[in-house]
Structure 1
């Protein structure tokens, strides 16, 4: 018991900052949803018309929860629950991989396994640590709903459902760490499972059966294949059904138990998916350090490019649907107008989706710079820097590839938007807005890139945590700020919220020049400071 207590304490100390950010951020998002609903959907008529529009155009349900009536609290859950659950899922999968496969790659797991703790106790400690983190997240989420005056039963249920989904994905992360050879591979597998189940729940809700009054929806069988679907079918503040919470916890227990069993059967450092053998000789395309960086990061870049393509496709495909919703509900049009800064509702829809495109491009950039930190922490960067490649060139290659990734993501979004217009024989004049806001998001994402690069140079151990936190804050302000009624000055602190837009026949540059200025100065400063920084190879 003392050995387990020591391992658990070590994990809690190591994760105290990261877990705190995830937990507090999730609870804050829950509490802010009340502000958004109260300000934008304060009357039952507003809520009824939006639900009717959503059920009449089910594709909207892909990105929202399960409608369960027009009560204010139930409407809050409809708008925000999937995002609370996805934050809990990301926190849990990253935590699981970091303390299992990540420790094996860093060599820490081998040292612990040589002590009386053995090989099984560390993964048990990680499991308990993940469960405690999700219990804390569930309690604070419930407290956020209670703090804004919602009833206790529904508040406790929405918190429990959020934490239970986190426990399910804790098991997914633990299992992925046993299957895959690297932490990067385990994280990628976990995220793909997360996204697939998230979409399954959304599609399952979209093809479900609406009620006669168009205020609620019965999920189809597809939603019941997803933990997100289980959590949404608790219907907090409406039916208050608790047994799907047990389903999430049971799934997490089964998957986590399998992971613990597999950990006891495999050799330390090995995996159940065999590592692919490398070529006997490197191809000519790997002749330089820039090509090596592209080879290391191309998989993640291409994944974000696909996300950009889908976002662009939806931006114009849904423009006419959202226009109908806005015509029926002025509150929707008002929110879109705040995000877009004017123009028609179709233009506002494109701007809203391309704000999300900027977030996706920023994620691509942050992940690329984070890869540089991973290479440094594992000691593989040292082998590259032992050649004539200096530190400035090495970091410059990662920054350059990240910038290429940003451009590819935004280009894919523009191509997707054109495909959406062509598929519906829509209004090609929207392409002017697509080009302007798409190009502007390149500048916005570049700001996140250089800020993460500066963190990497000045505080390398905070690169991953702080880089992703910056994107999370930018997303909260840029995407959710108008919904939550934030003042303009606060919303405009997010780079993705101040990009150029079409204003009539002219282009309003808005914050373009300060975005470009920050990107240029930040890139130059990070490269200049890198010249004087020593390697920080310890994780």
Structure 2
């Protein structure tokens, strides 16, 4: 047991500390943003009143629990902290269970006295240790800002309990799906669904008379993210939602270990789909193979992009109405988007989120290259006349195509929604230009991921996803956290072209295009001489 636990911690000595440190930094940055942007009770009360007037905002924010600095901080950042913990834990669970089975390591370990179930137990302990560390460091980061100790501890504990719940979910997904790719996809879709369920539960809740607090509906209790928010740090400090998250995570983990003991090694509870006896003619190129392997996941990203485009254009009218009643809302949106009119600001904010979605689709596509290399399935392809450069170029082209398709779906859906609502003709131009800008921004993450894959192949997945998270936090939340303007512009999402007062701001376009061109050429050139790096 001790040896297995040490081996897991050694393999995760970079990835897990990055997730934990990023979560703690987000908490500390969130406090700085609250103090700088909403320093008075009146300002915080105005924002919460605006939130009550538009339940859609609650889909993307936390649960209002008062106007104190701590309670408002939890409203702002607790969903993000819980999501980081959930992603870290679910990826960890799949990597050390189904991932090890795919790589052949689980078979070797099972042949030792460790047997079939002890590796899963070691993974559970490893995940629990990681979440305890995340809880402690996040709480310490908040305590260091001067916030009260109990509320800080409950904020960290709520995040860590969500991580434990998704640790159990990841272990279950590893038993259900035959590949780590399928298990990770299942956990990510479960995460997105449960996050939306939490938002629906909050939006359907009952506001208090002073518009500073919401009592969620029963729907929020169907989600681990809802449990985290029901803790209400810096207000009620309720321990039972934390205990519920931990208990559910442990119950799922026990069920996963039981399933591990009765199924065949390498098999899964969900049977694999039977393949064709002969490949179609359309699979005659490396690009076609990459597209075929990733097309199922891409459908989900495209649907998310289309939904984002619809929300971007349909909510602009709602935001204008609310901002007329509460100028604080207008200030917040314009601070994030750095746009002119409020319509432009709303579209820019949602299309920044779209750029993040497109970058995620691209990173997931390029992560497949590392998985194929680690699992040994890249070797049969490279044994043909397909060379290393052409093989990587196939992934680059498909990842870029994924970005274009996701953003294109949003642009088309947004324009159709504008037409249905009879929107202003100028907004069509804003949608198209902002969408094209996010294509370039997301493409930066395509080439950066490719460079990491070439130079640090074993760190590809962890580093690539960490860079997307950092870029998202700087680009979307940097202004709210009080970061200087230059820090926000380090994110490609914030540097993408936007429309402000009818004028197009192209300042960031040139360095983004230069980064894409130089990064792509460098990745392909370096790939020519790189050796394959199989294994974990």
Q: TM-score range by the shorter chain?
A: over 0.9
Matches within 5 A, 1:359-398: 359-398=356-395
- In the alignment, is residue 22 of structure 1 matched against residue 24 of structure 2? no
Q: Deviations over 1:465-486 (max 9, x none)?
A: 1111211111111111111111
- What residue number does 1:218 align with? 215
Q: In the comparison of the two structures, how many residue pairs are matched?
A: 536
CA contact (8 A) 1:49 1:328 kept: no
Q: Structure 1: how far apart are the matches of 2:258 and 2:168?
A: 12
Cα-to-partner distance string for 1:322-373 (whole Å, 9 max, x where unaligned): 2234344444433332333331011011111111111111111111111111
Partner residue of 2:144 out of 138, 144, 147 = 147
Contact 2:34 2:481 in 1 (8 A): yes
Q: CA RMSD in A?
A: 1.3
Unaligned 5+ segments in structure 2 are none
Correspondence 1:57-206 to 2 at 5 A: 57-206=54-203
Q: Which 10-residue stretch deviates more, 460-469 or 127-136?
A: 460-469
Q: Secondary structure at the match of 2:479?
A: helix
Q: Which residue of 1 aligns with 2:454?
A: 457
- Taking the TM superposition and a 5 Å limit, the aligned residue runs for 1:324-363 are 324-363=321-360
- Give the Cα–Cα distance (whole angstroms) in 1 for the partners of residues 342 and 225 of structure 2: 30
CA distance in 1, matches of 2:324, 2:32: 23
CA contact (8 A) 1:88 1:163 kept: yes
Q: TM-score, normalised by structure 1?
A: 0.97
Paired with 2:373 and 2:141, the residues of 1 have a C-alpha distance of 40
- Structure 1 residue runs without a partner (length 5+): none
**Native 8 Å contact 1:172 1:255 kept in 2:** yes
Q: Answer whether contact 1:311 1:413 (CA < 8 A) is retained.
A: yes
Instruction: Indicate how the Cα distance of structure 1 residues 394 and 285 shifts in structure 2: closer, same or farther if over 3 A, else same.
Output: same
What aligned pairs does 1:460-471 form with structure 2 within 5 A after superposition?
A: 460-471=457-468
- Does the 8 Å contact 2:177/2:183 carry over to 1? yes
Counterpart of 2:12 in 1: which secondary structure? helix
Distance between the aligned counterparts of 2:86 and 2:419, measured in 1? 36
Contact 2:339–2:348 under 8 Å retained in 1: no
Structure 2 Cα separation of the partners of residues 155 and 423 of structure 1:
47
Cα deviation for residue 41 of structure 1 reads 1.1
Counterpart check, 1:307 vs 2:309 = no
- In the alignment, which of 396, 402, 417 is matched to residue 399 of structure 1? 396
8 Å CA contact retained: 2:231, 2:237: yes
Query: Does the 8 Å CA contact 1:68/1:215 hold for their aligned counterparts?
Result: yes
**Pair 1:62–1:106, CA change in 2 (3 A):** same
Candidates 481, 491, 515, aligned match of 1:518: 515
Distance 1:278 1:334 in 2: 55
Say if 2:495 is the partner of 1:498. Answer: yes
Classify the secondary structure of the residue corresponding to 1:318: helix
**Counterpart contact for 1:50–1:325, Cα < 8 Å:** no
Following the alignment from structure 2 to structure 1, what is the Cα–Cα distance between the partners of residues 504 and 153?
A: 48
